[in-house]
Amino acid sequence: MIQIEENRSLKSFNTFGIDCKARYFVSVKSVEELKEALRNSPSEEIFILGGGSNLLLTSDMDHLVIHLDLKGINVISENENEVVLRVQAGENWHEFVQYCLRNDYGGVENLSLIPGNVGTAPIQNIGAYGVEIKDVFEKCSALFIDSLETKEFSIDDCDFGYRNSIFKNELKDKVIITSVDLKLSKREHHIHTSYGAIQSLLKEREITNPTIQDVSEVVIDIRSSKLPDPKDLGNSGSFFKNPVINAETFQQFRLRYPEAPFYEVSATEFKIPAGWLIEQCGFKGKRFGDAGVHEKQALVLVNFGNAKGADIWQLAQRIQADVKEKFGIFIEPEVNVI
Ligand code: EPU
5-68: which CATH architecture? 2-Layer Sandwich (3.30)
**Helices and strands counted in the chain (H then E):** 8, 20
- Record: fold of 73-185: 3.30.465
Give residue 82 CA to ligand 1 midpoint distance, Å: 31
Domain boundaries for CATH 3.30.465.10 within the chain: 73-185
3-state secondary structure 6-69: EEEECHHHCCCCCCCEEEEEEEECCHHHHHHHHHCCCCCCEEEECCCCCEECCCCEEEEEEEEC
Choose which residue among 94, 109, 131, 299 to substitute to test ligand 1 binding: the one with the highest number of ligand atoms within 8 A of its C-beta: 299
Q: Is the per-residue pLDDT at 290 higher than 90?
A: yes
Is the entire prediction scored with pTM above 0.85? yes
Largest pairwise CA distance in the chain: 63
Domain boundaries for CATH 3.30.43.10 within the chain: 5-68
- Pocket (CB within 6 angstroms of ligand 1): 128-129, 226-227, 237-238, 241-242, 261, 273, 275-276, 279, 284, 297-299, 334
Percentage of residues in the chain having pLDDT higher than 70:
100
The CA radius of gyration of the chain, in Å to the nearest whole number, is 20
CA distance 17 to 235: 8
Question: From atom 25 of ligand 1, which residue's Cα is the shortest distance away?
Answer: 128
pLDDT tens digit sequence for 306-318: 999 999 999 999 9
Query: Mean pLDDT across the stretch 290-303?
Result: 97
CA distance 83 to 267: 36
Domain boundaries for CATH 3.90.78.10 within the chain: 234-337
CATH of domain 234-337: 3.90.78.10
Q: CB count, 10 Å around CB of 144? A: 14
Q: Is the per-residue pLDDT at 1 higher than 90?
A: no
